[in-house]
Amino acid sequence: MKVMIGPHWRRLAFLGGLAMLCQPSVANANLVITEVYANSPGSGQDAGKEWLELSNTSEDTAIDLDGATLQRLDGTARNQAWSLTLTGAPTLAPGTTLVLGESDDLGLGLCFAFDVFVLDSSFVLGNSGVQFLSIETADQLWGEEVKISNSSTFPDGQARERVDANETEDIGTAWAASSCELQTNVYGTPGQAPATCLTEDDFLPSSECAGGGTPVIGTDGGVANGNSGGVTSTSTLDGGGQIDVSGNAAPTGSLVIISSDGQSATFQLTATDADHTAVAGSLYYSVAQNQPAGQEIVAGLNLQSDGSPVEFVWEFGDVPEGTYYPFAVFSDSYGAKSYAYGTQAIQVGAQTAEMAFSITEPDGINDSASASAGLNIAWNILPAVDGVVALYYDTDGQGYDGEPIVSGLSANATGPRTYLWQPDESVPNGNYAIYGVISWAGNQAMAYSPGFVEVQNQVQGCQCRSHKNTGANTIPFGLALLALIGYRRRKSRKSLNH
């Protein structure tokens, strides 16, 4: 099993400039291919040594690469040579980069301090000829298509670095050969800006690498994770032992919105992970509910894997007013991740009193209620807000001066939009309008139902009712029986007289 190793991310200052220049040929080119290495020194020496670099050039939007499609297209006709799905790829924070290659060490035997997402064996780059690379996220919101080579040979041992993200066709304008030597006769700047050579900080000590350069990541003093077949060497820095990641499971977590007042929100995060003692948590907000694509709030929160809660306060600052849906990403040191969505929506700024609130049921068509057969009162709230709804019944459908039914119903996105009303005998039989009152952030809105509901609880004795039952026509059974006997006697005497 090939996995992405390590939690480290590299932030690139130069990418802001690329973001302003870049014009997408596929989706939105805030996701940019910024470096390509295709031709190692020597004949037939490319296997396991080819790689490329992806960068998120946006200033405030995270890009989820899980399920993204990477393709090589050949010739001016752009014939597809291969297509790869980046299953399990990470979410790129704004201004960060990800190196993708055929091996963790890029075939150099080096121990990098940044992540390398390992691609399968179908990833092959040609040394010459017209080639394009295309990247597109699973939601088709982000990506680009760029030419990486033409009829001339790809530079021998030199990566091509993207120097003009606005250009996707002209090789001489879009790319420059790297002059930073990684190893003898091998040039490139993986994880760094063009012409920014790697330093000692970009590598781990050799004791942190197994044979071939694979980083050794230890937990709890180097305790092996999962099957022991992968334990082939030791590391003095992590206490000894190489972790076999074949049995690694992603952490799980939850995101609870404790409070929100229009200016800030307080979150509570918890995480559990049987494989690790620590979990990294990141928070994002989205305009769509239950969609793992949005803008970053914070990254790199340190969470304990035993479920211990951690609180975080988000100050909205200059975030545009509106309703947002927060979500969290939980990841372990191997890159395995999971998502958790917030328990409610977040309102940034004051919601106007003109928000749409309406009672849709009862609508006056065959609506009745009793203690044994309830009525589903229904309402709409657009958009959802961090507030509460109260319901009332009223005899005349005006004035908002009725009697309470229920209060404290949540108005957020996960709150109810129906309530089963089963009026008991304390509610007199009759026809009633229903109205609701929604309260949020110091605001209040009210709305009546479009129709009435008839309360029809049984009472003692024979009940005869009109359409609007007030109970006034109830006749005790004994009086009814005496009246019937008297009527029959009078009718019998009248028959004898004839």
pLDDT in tens, the chain (498 residues): 233 333 333 334 344 444 333 333 445 678 999 999 998 887 666 777 899 999 999 888 889 999 999 999 999 999 999 999 999 899 888 888 999 998 888 888 888 878 789 998 889 998 888 999 999 999 999 999 999 998 777 778 899 999 998 899 999 999 999 999 888 889 999 999 888 998 877 876 655 554 444 443 332 222 223 322 333 333 232 333 344 455 677 889 999 999 888 789 999 999 998 876 678 899 999 877 777 777 889 988 989 888 999 999 999 988 888 778 899 999 887 777 888 998 888 888 765 545 678 899 998 888 999 999 999 999 988 777 788 999 999 999 898 999 999 999 998 878 899 999 999 999 999 999 999 999 887 788 899 999 999 999 875 444 444 344 434 444 455 555 555 555 455 545 444 444
User: What's the rounded Cα separation, in Å, for the pair 75 and 109?
Assistant: 33
Rounded-to-10 torsion of CA 234, 236, 240, 243: -60
Q: DSSP secondary structure string, 148-171?
A: EE-SSPPPTTBPEEES-TT-SS-H
Which domains are delineated in the chain? 10-215 (no CATH), 252-348 (2.60.40.3880), 356-455 (2.60.40.10)
What is residue 465's predicted lDDT score, i.e. its pLDDT? 43
What is residue 445's predicted lDDT score, i.e. its pLDDT? 87
DSSP annotation of 209 = B
User: What's the rounded Cα separation, in Å, for the pair 146 and 355?
Assistant: 45
Rounded-to-10 torsion of CA 402, 403, 408, 414: -60
What is residue 485's predicted lDDT score, i.e. its pLDDT? 54
What is residue 468's predicted lDDT score, i.e. its pLDDT? 40
Residues in the chain: 498
Q: By C-alpha distance, which of 166, 161, 120 is closest to 144? A: 166
Model pTM score: 0.44
- Residues in Cβ contact with 436 at an 8 Å cutoff, skipping those fewer than 6 apart: 357, 359, 377, 379, 389, 390, 391, 392, 446, 447
Neighbours of 125 (CB within 10 A): 20
Cβ burial, residue 189 (10 Å; 0-12/13-18/19+): buried
What is residue 289's predicted lDDT score, i.e. its pLDDT? 72
Cα 424-429-432 angle, rounded to 5 deg = 95
What is residue 417's predicted lDDT score, i.e. its pLDDT? 92
The tokens describing 427, both together, are 């509610």
What is residue 462's predicted lDDT score, i.e. its pLDDT? 45
Q: How many CA atoms lie within 13 A of 316 on its CB side?
A: 18
